[in-house]
Amino acid sequence: MINFSANLSMLFTELPLLDRFDAAKNAGFSAAEIQFPYSESIDALRAKLDETGLQLVLFNVDADDLLQGGEGLAAVPEKRERFKAALTQTVDYIEALQPKAVNVLPGRCMNPSRLDDYLQTFGENLSLAADTFAPFGVSAIFEAINTIDMPGFIIHSGAQMLDWLERLNHPNILLQVDIYHLSMMNEDPEAFIRLHPETIGHIQFADTPGRGQPGTGNIDFNRLFDTIRNSGYSGWTGAEYRPVGPTLDSLDWLEQFQTKKL
């Protein structure tokens, strides 16, 4: 079976964030993930997890202005101290919410002549995050994001992810494989999963193009989910798509694949 989690930053956005936990539970999910939980208090999130019985398996370190078109936080040399402050905030949430992994978004570089400095800074900050999270049993993960949706993103391919994983050689760093982003870069995410399951700390999916639910684009999700199921990967697979229509109407895939066994 595949362990599916609901990304509450993308799903059930018809509702306030805290109400999305109830909606995910009622829809059949046993776990959730949030891109950035910091707009809600730790106590409110913990109470909602206890009330619903959901696990919160993933969230991100704060990424500053990344989603507003900026460079983000983790790779900008001038923002090193702000990144350290963000880690302190993240640890507060880790202690209470007990995720399986925390994602460190590499971010953008707007000045190509500074790319090497940005990559170096990201590597150092990611290693620092991995050291910081290790005592809590939480993996630091990072992902490639396509440069169509996010121009200038410094890590945008499976090969780059593997290269940085090898360079850093840290026992607490793993990869987040995002099916949508790799597909948008014309890569084969199924092949990546088959070849490198031991490197993966989390998987996310959406159909391409459009980033909608399974069945709205050109990905063969029967084949994809079979690949995940047979790969040996045993972590969580997050539904991180933008529903076409109401969220509940987008969940036909969940009943179909959640109970399908080898």
Each residue of 135-151: pLDDT tens digit? 999 999 999 999 999 99
Residues in the chain: 262
Q: Which of 71, 187, 190, 240 is catalytic?
A: 240
Show me where the domains of the chain are located: 3-257
- Rounded Cα gap, residues 216 and 250, in angstroms: 10
- Rounded Cα gap, residues 262 and 120, in angstroms: 42
DSSP alpha helix (H) spans, 110-251: 115-133, 158-168, 179-184, 189-195, 221-230
Below-50 pLDDT ranges, the chain: 260-262
Contact between residue 4 and residue 236 where contact means Cβ atoms under 8 Å apart: yes
**Nearest by Cα to 181 from 208, 145, 155, 224:** 145
Q: What pLDDT was estimated at residue 259?
A: 54
How far is residue 250 from each of residues 30, 151, 212, 253, measured CA to CA in Å? 17, 29, 9, 8
Is residue 143 part of the annotated active site? The answer reads yes
Q: Which of 71, 143, 187, 190 is catalytic?
A: 143
Q: What pLDDT was estimated at residue 184?
A: 98
Q: What pLDDT was estimated at residue 1?
A: 81
Q: What pLDDT was estimated at residue 262?
A: 30
> Model's pTM, two decimal places?
0.95
Contact between residue 23 and residue 46 where contact means Cβ atoms under 8 Å apart: no
Contact between residue 203 and residue 176 where contact means Cβ atoms under 8 Å apart: yes
- Rounded Cα gap, residues 10 and 34, in angstroms: 8
Is residue 187 part of the annotated active site? The answer reads no
Distant-in-sequence, close-in-space partners of 88: CB < 8 Å, separation ≥ 6: none
Which CATH superfamily hosts domain 3-257?
A: Divalent-metal-dependent TIM barrel enzymes (3.20.20.150)
